[in-house]
Amino acid sequence: MSDTDSFIDEVTEEVRRDRLFLMLKRYGWIGGVAVALIVGGAAFREYSKAQEQAAAEALGDAITAALETDGSEKQAEALAAVSAEGAGGAAIAKMLEAGALAEAGKTAEAVARLEAVAVNGELPLIYRHIASFKVLALQTGTLSAADRRLQYEALAQPGAPLALLASEQLALLDVEEGNSEAAIARLRDIVADATVSADLKDRASQVIVALGGSLDGDAAPEG
């Protein structure tokens, strides 16, 4: 390589460095802003988590204090006064309040609290189904078997959060109506389900035996 070529290469490289320096000087702030946004975003997320945790702890403390109140009516009043920021926390407080009202003999008020949760479309399905299930439990003596069956069937749809518990109630309705064969078949399905809890499996097995059936699928007696 000649001296001239070498000199040209050096000048070209110097021009490139000058251009790079100029670009960094002109646009380098973009990188700084990006870094600031990343760091700020991470800090905001941590702050939000801390705020959510603090709110959850405050709600838990308030609910615990309310539940320690003596007397069902006073307990219900204390739970009604609990302030919750999120819809989920408010739903939990309302369902607990309904439980206290039911214990105090105020069934109609308890049902009203639970129905407010059950129809709240902003809540996850599990909250709404729990509230609906509790409403049906409170209305056992006032709703007809046909009405209860219709509502339990809605809760027993495959994939529903309380499907197996609702199926258990449907089996008990079968027994109530004198249809032991249908009850045993339904209870066997519960026992065979891979997701069944140990307690529910034991209860279903005991009822099957009490009805004169067996767990191995033998024919059930006509009811």
The answer to whether 116 and 91 have CB atoms below 8 angstroms apart is no
Q: Which residue has the higher pLDDT, 220 or 171?
A: 171
Complete DSSP assignment for 87-120 = HHHHHHHHHHHHHHHHHTT-HHHHHHHHHHHHT-
pLDDT of residue 222: 46
- The token pair at 217 is 């699928």
Task: Read off the DSSP letter of residue 81.
Answer: T
164-177 average pLDDT score? 95
In whole angstroms, give the CA distance from residue 80 to residue 77: 5
Report pLDDT digits (tens) over 32-73: 555 555 666 666 566 556 555 666 677 677 777 877 788 888
Top-confidence residue, 85 or 221: 85
Per the prediction, the chain carries an average pLDDT of 81
Q: Lowest-confidence range among 71-85, 150-164, 176-190, 208-222?
A: 208-222
Average pLDDT over residues 160-179: 95
Q: What is the pTM of this model?
A: 0.69
Predicted confidence band at 223 (pLDDT cuts at 50, 70, 90)? very low
More confident residue, 169 or 19: 169
**pLDDT of 4 higher than 60:** no
* Tens of pLDDT, residues 133-146: 999 999 988 999 99
- State the pLDDT confidence band at 6, using cuts at 50, 70 and 90: low
Closest CA to 78 of 57, 104, 40, 117: 104
3-state helix, strand, coil in the chain (%, to 5): 75, 0, 25
Span 81-133, pLDDT tens digits: 888 777 888 888 888 889 989 989 999 999 999 999 999 998 999 999 999 99
